[in-house]
Structure 1
Amino acid sequence: MGSAPPDDDTRTAEHRPATRPLAPAGFAELERATAGLQPPFAVVDLAALRANAAHMVRRAGGKPIRLASKSLRCRALIEDVLRMPGFSGILAFTLPEALWLAAEEKGADGVEGEPAGDILVGYPTADVPALRRLASDERAAARIVLMVDSVAHLDLVTEAVGPSGPRVRVCLDLDASLRLLGGRLHLGMRRSPLHAPEQAAELARAVLARPRLKLVGVMSYEGQIAGMGDNQPGAAPARAAVRLMQRISANELRARRAAAIRAVRAVAPLEFVNGGGTGSLESTSAEAAVTELGAGSGIYAPVLFDHYRGFRPLPAAYFALSVVRRPAPGHVTVLGGGWTASGAPGPSRLPVPVHPAGLRLLGTEGAGEVQTPLAGPAADDLRLGDRVWFRHAKAGELCERVDELHLVEGDRIVDVVPTYRGEGHAFL
């Protein structure tokens, strides 16, 4: 299933996606599959999910993909994707989440299975109780890797875990942003202070000086390339500027990342070097210094991934809301809808109504906490109780709004699985 934009949409050919979705829209099938459900609810199209996963593996060019759990936030689907060839290991977002995943991992038969790779916590933690739990659990300590980018992190972890117990595995977070004009112009994520190769090597030596810690990896996430579409709607000069920035940034990072990895490997051996994201799988996998990729958003293919020239995943995750008002001709109101994505506020963070075609949010109200007005020709054909289908702007954040995902194949619900929220967890 997909939601290809209509051929008569207002976008110019210049900034339409270079390729169409892999399959036509199938909302009739979704309607039949979910006829007995009362909105709000969320569905995942398993055929689209599998196609997206396979496409990501092809784009990765033979390097394994570490699955970003925050992009799925559903343990059953994380385990399903990790059973697919080409995926290995988890990129978690908090240490409590990583401890939970390590403890709860199940095999296909519902019993404890073989670990599907290690679990890299993609962001630093200051959670002292969780660090103590990690240090007291030999099995978890053997699988979970903490992210660090400063001596202050090393000191915090060392103090929390104490002098005895299993060694704690750590990974250096190398800043991947583009810095120009002597650092006065910063393009990219503000994540880590480790930018120069010598800074990474210095922190690697600081890790080795602490017997309780073991350096096993280096990570760098080029958000200005992997997370920023190069085919955004809008003015052509703005798209050209994004593409130029991304070319310059990719060339600079390729050389700097290789130099940083050489410098760190001169201090200690590494088990992995992680890089990339859904939007940069091809370019990052081509770097010899990178041994694995990190990605996950392309599995659900939210709205933010509609605007890349090089690939177009199938929308796989949707949510449905009920029409509860008809306030004026050409307008309807649905119950709920304020499922706004994180990031810099703006229209790109709002959910998008995709079926019936021809509905839009109102600029004066947007997506509301309790109700969301919509306008467009399709509104006059909708009755009270009819559904409007939406796509979320970002991937896993949809799961913070629902307790379960209805897994659909064709016109049937084949399973219902809990989200993190449905299992009683809100890690952030």
Structure 2
Amino acid sequence: MKNIILITKREYLTQVKKKSFVVLTLLAPLMMLGFGLFIAYLMNANTSSYKLDVLDKSGLFDGKLKSDENVQFVYLSPNSEKQLVQLMKDKKGDDGILIIPALENSDYKKLEAETRLLVSETMDKTAKKNVSDQLSEVIKKEKIKKLGLQEAQIEELNASFDLKIQNVVDENAEDSDTIFGVKSVLAMLLMYATFMFIIIYGVRVMRSVLEEKNNRVVEIIISSVKPFELMLGKIFGVTLVALTQFVVWIAMSVGGALFFNTGFSKMSTSPVETSGMPMSQNIGSMIGEVSHALLSLNYPLIIGVFILFFLLGYVFYSSMYAAIGSAVDNDTETQQFTLFAVIPLMIGMYGSFTIMNNPDGPLAFWLSIVPFTSPVAMVARIPFGVPIWQILLSLVLLVCAVLFMVFVASKIYRIGILMYGNKASFKEIWKWIRTK
């Protein structure tokens, strides 16, 4: 045990004393936020704005098509159709011409069939749906008016039903779109962080083992310590590095939530009051609601489950990576074995996207119980609430799987770490495992 502690200390201090570790630990949350904003910008950057000339021969749509950032409507005389079409052909006109025929005998189907949108270039799907939805809404209101209903009655018919859910087991449990959205985002962040860090730090262990093997440094090291102690020391050292980063990030996140909740809580208002507010106050109100939703979660349970499952999942997969690093001679040869570590994690991550829709569904349950996927799936479920017996069952199975994987990895490590110039096959690795 003393040797394991010494190796763990060496691996840990070697990593945390690097300037790159300090910089990344402090700046990573800001970099992740910036990356998310950049992705959002890229998604919006690919949208275009269109100016459409409206030739309404029916008279039904005059002033009823609303312009926005995506589509701008310009109403022109229907008699200018030929000139506008020619300008468009010459690439001198607007982006499109919406030609609406005359309405005959209230035949809305014929109106729809003969309505045309002329364009000179491909129009994006969002703008097309925008135009189509507005046309449909106007026709819908006209049909309802034919039935003798007033505008207020039409709005009442279109009003959605706000269904409130009450939890009879936990009366303090809140159910709102804001809280559900916060839980979904938090679940995705925890899931993605677990997935990425298990792979990143697992590969770091594998390359560290491979580097010492190729440099023949390991021959000197194992003259003083057992291969099993060396493997566990490396795994625990890198585990503490990851845990240090997580503690710093959790503290920064909770501190940020407290700051925003205090700073913007006074701006939180009802939806009616918000509608007349300036944009800055609307943003402040939204931030206040989100931070309040964040602080309403059971953080001790979420953080505790996250750390436990991350640590156990990391030890499970890093043992596998350490065994892979000891069994090969170069990075190229690792490709045939790393899939055994990556594929289960990918199944857990992509399967966990269904958790956002139904956290208590059968797929969510089994993904969070099976040890190969539970480190990722359980942390995705925990913001939504998981029964204690399921958490304990998953932990027991994961601990058993970790002990088994460490045992198997140590069998491979103690022989593979001293094998040079011999490409390990699955048959040979199986022999190493069976060797007493």
Common fold by TM > 0.5: no
Structure with higher Rg: it is 2
Which structure has more relative contact order (CA 8 Å, sep 6+)? It is 1
Smaller-chain TM-score range?
under 0.3
**Larger helix proportion, structure 1 or 2?**
2
**Larger strand proportion, structure 1 or 2?**
1
Q: TM-score, normalised by structure 2?
A: 0.21
